[in-house]
Amino acid sequence: MSHLKPGLALAALLALAACQSKPAVPPPAAALGPVAAAPAGALPAGTGCGPAIARTQSIVDSDVATGNLNAPVGKRFSADLANASAACAAGREGEALHLLAAAKARFGYP
């Protein structure tokens, strides 16, 4: 049975070496560069459908500008927001807010 001990010792040594060959700290993720967000002061203030739609449009514009949303998707989102804005301008606030909520849900915005 003594002839198995060197084999076990070698296996244990290889297992230990394998564990220690991994870096202790994972390599840093590739830098994506700074992502600028729309400044909080730049968002339209107020209540009602008009400012809510304008705030969402500002966020969409910012996301397209920073590359967080691709331009074709941004155009479709903006078209949906234009429909909501038209309903708001016509005095149909309930419909406008419904269209806004539907557009935000469609494109994954809270």
Q: How far from 31 is each of 23, 24, 27, 28, 41, CA to CA, in Å?
A: 20, 20, 12, 8, 28
pTM for the whole structure: 0.62
Predicted pLDDT at 60: 98
Q: How far from 60 is each of 23, 42, 68, 73, 87, CA to CA, in Å?
A: 41, 13, 9, 10, 19
What SS3 class is residue 37?
A: coil
Predicted pLDDT at 17: 57
CB contact burial 16-49 (16+ within 10 A = b; e otherwise): eeeeeeeeeeeeeeeeeeeeeebeeeeeeeeeeb
Instruction: Report whether pLDDT(72) > 90.
Output: yes
